[in-house]
Structure 1
């Protein structure tokens, strides 16, 4: 099955007439990688995040699993493997031990009350998807620090977490594991972690990281016999001596690797010192900054980084460069510049040429600052809320349908309500509305994580209801400042009205990219606080317009439109 025009794929070989029959006749065809998580376990209870075509499900059956819960976020894949092509899949997902659930993995784990012997996520990322840069811009709540805390809470005492990722991301998984162990008072991770890279064919560019690698994190310490069994699985079918390097141990309790970045992270006295010394983003992703696939720290991106990205000397190197280079970060920087240029040419330039009257009005820069602040502040709130509600609602389609639609609907209701207020009350009312927005945005930033943690176990209907209740008051209040300000500006001059629409639109366009960049840098809670600061800026602009003018000055409302 090809996903997103071939950027990723999943599937399985023909399991007809029945998956169990195929297992008996061809046991060697099972992909062995995921079985490293079952070392030393008999009849394990398994949770698979991103089951896809079912390789890990089949391997779990071969390992004698007593229970397999397969989580797949894509309903189309679930429908194909369990219904439309169930015959080809040999009834795999209808075996008595197997349960297929269509859901977001982290959301399911948070709601689950069960304990598992192994929680695994294998090959849920492709090098083509990494190369596109899109994954670096995508939130990933499955690999955050809070997610690892949830996984540990859902493991049996001898349980294991196993994730496979590209090799350059393994150190970030190790740092995540270390911080979670420290938070929960579990001590050092040295005897709890095994990290490796494993590639079945000779690496075409030896200087580059290998794509397939993995991290095993055990709740209790690894026993020597378990480590030996894991190495046996990884080295199975290694072939001739010159190919024996296909498995590289990055970190293991019984194998010292002093030059390994994973070892430095596990043993460093001050973890922050290791983070600062590297160009790579090694600090754990969090629910507030869920961009696990971000490659490079923003502070380490230079002009030479951009030049190097687009000037690879080897044809294969140019393609491989995209897998572990900051392609998404550079793309965002370029997109921000393009957005500013295009929006400036299409919005601000025509206004400057055709509505110069707006630039000759007293207080013009305060008016422009006011509408700029509204455009930037509102889009920051919108982007931050979409990111935050994704974990709570589980499915991206629900997030956009509920949060975006709800926010726009209640914003419209707020705008309609503002339009019914009497003109003499507008200046005072507008200031009170802005104060309400300044207070409400930080309140939402603080209470949403608390509400999400308490209500994530509810069914989807109640989570949608709670989401709308959180979005409704904020949308209602944020819908008022623009129409109220527009009415005041239009009474000064119709040209000011044109500039209000134009400036607001310009900052909304560039704010979309800027909000995402800031979310990656400082987290979406800070983005919401910056949005509140934008509304503070709007309030200050209004205060300047009425400063020292007892009758309202440039905010005064006349009973007839101003002459142009």
Structure 2
């Protein structure tokens, strides 16, 4: 971080020298100081949040981080414990007599804990893996081929091996997990990824399914996010394309007849994740199976986790009986089966009210839509256009949630959404002061705005293109996460393309305006901006599926090629307007830059809120409308006949 700031300061000094706003002597002293700080390695040490899982584990005596590895996908920390053995089995039955083997903890960005389990030649020592809700599908029928999405350090693979699964395909996006288990800690772990019948794929789960035609008896997705951050609502801002309706459709299409899709999530109170997942799956099944959808679901819960099983077919009475036997032996609770009865629920991990059972019944009833609209949290299914699965906040529940703060209910508030909204309010307030400030304090500027160009046009134009540019940029950056698999990759590729090619567009604006004039040039580029934006909105889903088999380097190239023409034309509107101001009101150029900068800050926050509420398509459509509107507010000077008063000390008459 320090070196990034250092580069920024050096760039500012060079610009100041070029514009002669900084004296050379001052610049030399400042550069010398920066060089000294850089050479001595001075920089502030980043502190891990005390609320993250790694920080909490380090409070235990004898625990220490024994290794760290970094990649664009995050920092991986390996934790060992000398005094108190590390034992991690989320949602494990409280009545189980099994004990997990000794383990090493693995944390991604100091959170999202998983474990490397000690090697054993006796599979029965892995019996604790059968005491978790995620083991249910292995008891319903024998599974010959299993696909594990997000296999991480291999716990789910061990679970599949314990239940004698046939072929196991483990898909993991972060290759560091595989390297740690296969190489660095090979002597400690049970060679999980090198066992016969296990094939590991470094890939995104959806990409793997799009590029492989095999069908599976079981597709398993288990606890792919952190319990702490998930409970606090911090993941509400994160896009997840694993739990959208399109993703569920893809998973189900790759199941063998009678196969299962098993998804395990953290249990939250009041119910949120579990119900949203249930509603998402139900929405998909009702489109394909109609009234039979309710016969394809089984949902169970423990004290910490919930597992939803979706069958490619109808659950038989024998399978439902096996599910009841599985849960009763482990003191888990049935939430839903096709023949569930009220007396079968809320028997072990007892709640004051059987909320999960009542809610799933409401989602299956004719009053489903009314229940969703009245529920305290947002249960609308996530889609690829609005991939915020963990966005649960609803404004209608806000007053009640605030009241719970004084009763120790802070964890019930979806803080992520509120933080973004508060940031937007601060950005709007600050921008208002920064935009209006020059008009109040610089009387000359205020007078000249009235007498040379319409100040309303200047404000509207630069504010509008500031909003529109960032809306399109951020919306496409988020959409390309599905193609590039991770926000870091998507940001690197799309931001590079937008900034570089928008710069080329800006450099070409003078030539275009000389040939066609400023107003006609603006109309031409707006047509291209609107055309490319709407075209990509329609075609990107198909392009992403087509590109599933491409390597990551080729995907980067394709991304840049797709963004380049759109970004090129988006680079024109700003310099075209600045050129107009330079001719007729050059004193307004700093004000125009400020307006555009403030609009960009507001847009970066506003876009996230709009996307969470309405989806990326709406954001892009709004941006297209904004760009189209600037044709009518291009800041040309007023006709001379309309000018009155003094300009530059001279009286102008019509």
1:70-219 matches, within 5 Å, as 70-167=170-267, 168=271, 169-185=273-289, 187-199=291-303, 211-219=304-312
| 2:116 counterpart SS class | coil
1:408 offset after TM fit, Å?
A: 1.5
1:226 aligns with 2:319: yes
Give, in whole Å, the separation in 2 of the partners of 1:467 and 1:189: 38
Distance 1:60 1:128, change over 3 A: same
Give, in whole Å, the separation in 2 of the partners of 1:480 and 1:163: 48
Contact 2:263 2:309 in 1 (8 A): yes
2:113 counterpart residue number:
9
1:477 counterpart residue number:
569
User: Over residues 117-155 of structure 1, what are the superposed CA-to-partner deviations in whole Å (9 max), with x where a residue is unaligned?
Assistant: 111111222321114433110011000000010001100
Give, in whole Å, the separation in 2 of the partners of 1:5 and 1:439: 40
Contact 2:581 2:636 in 1 (8 A): no
TM-score by length of 2: 0.74
RMSD of aligned Cα (Å): 2.7
1:68 counterpart residue number:
168
Corresponding residue to 2:379 among 275, 282, 286: 282
Corresponding residue to 1:34 among 124, 131, 134: 134
Give, in whole Å, the separation in 1 of the partners of 2:301 and 2:334: 7
1:306 offset after TM fit, Å?
A: 5.9
Give, in whole Å, the separation in 2 of the partners of 1:463 and 1:553: 55
Give, in whole Å, the separation in 2 of the partners of 1:313 and 1:225: 46
| 1:189 counterpart SS class | helix
2:606 counterpart residue number:
514
1:313 aligns with 2:410: no
Give, in whole Å, the separation in 1 of the partners of 2:290 and 2:222: 26
1:506 offset after TM fit, Å?
A: 0.4
1:103 offset after TM fit, Å?
A: 2.5
1:397 aligns with 2:488: yes
Give, in whole Å, the separation in 1 of the partners of 2:524 and 2:309: 55
Give, in whole Å, the separation in 2 of the partners of 1:178 and 1:341: 43
Distance 1:124 1:87, change over 3 A: same
Greater shift after overlay, 468-477 or 96-105? 96-105
Distance 1:187 1:452, change over 3 A: farther
Distance 1:89 1:482, change over 3 A: same
2:511 counterpart residue number:
420
Give, in whole Å, the separation in 2 of the partners of 1:232 and 1:552: 89
Contact 1:373 1:538 in 2 (8 A): yes
Q: Which has the higher contact order (CA 8 A, sep 6+)?
A: 1
Gaps of 5+ in 1: 200-210, 239-246, 555-564
| 2:298 counterpart SS class | strand
Gaps of 5+ in 2: 1-104, 343-353, 644-654
1:261 counterpart residue number:
359
Give, in whole Å, the separation in 1 of the partners of 2:637 and 2:446: 23
1:353 counterpart residue number:
441
2:596 counterpart residue number:
504
TM-score by length of 1: 0.85
1:111 offset after TM fit, Å?
A: 2.4
Give, in whole Å, the separation in 1 of the partners of 2:231 and 2:427: 23
Greater shift after overlay, 169-178 or 356-365? 356-365
Distance 1:26 1:511, change over 3 A: closer
| 1:190 counterpart SS class | helix
1:410 offset after TM fit, Å?
A: 1.2
| 1:117 counterpart SS class | strand
1:295 offset after TM fit, Å?
A: 1.1
| 1:10 counterpart SS class | strand
Give, in whole Å, the separation in 2 of the partners of 1:233 and 1:82: 33
Give, in whole Å, the separation in 2 of the partners of 1:277 and 1:60: 40
2:646 counterpart residue number:
none
User: Over residues 462-490 of structure 1, what are the superposed CA-to-partner deviations in whole Å (9 max), with x where a residue is unaligned?
Assistant: 43333223211101110111111111112
Distance 1:26 1:131, change over 3 A: closer
Q: Which has the larger radius of gyration?
A: 2
Give, in whole Å, the separation in 1 of the partners of 2:161 and 2:266: 26
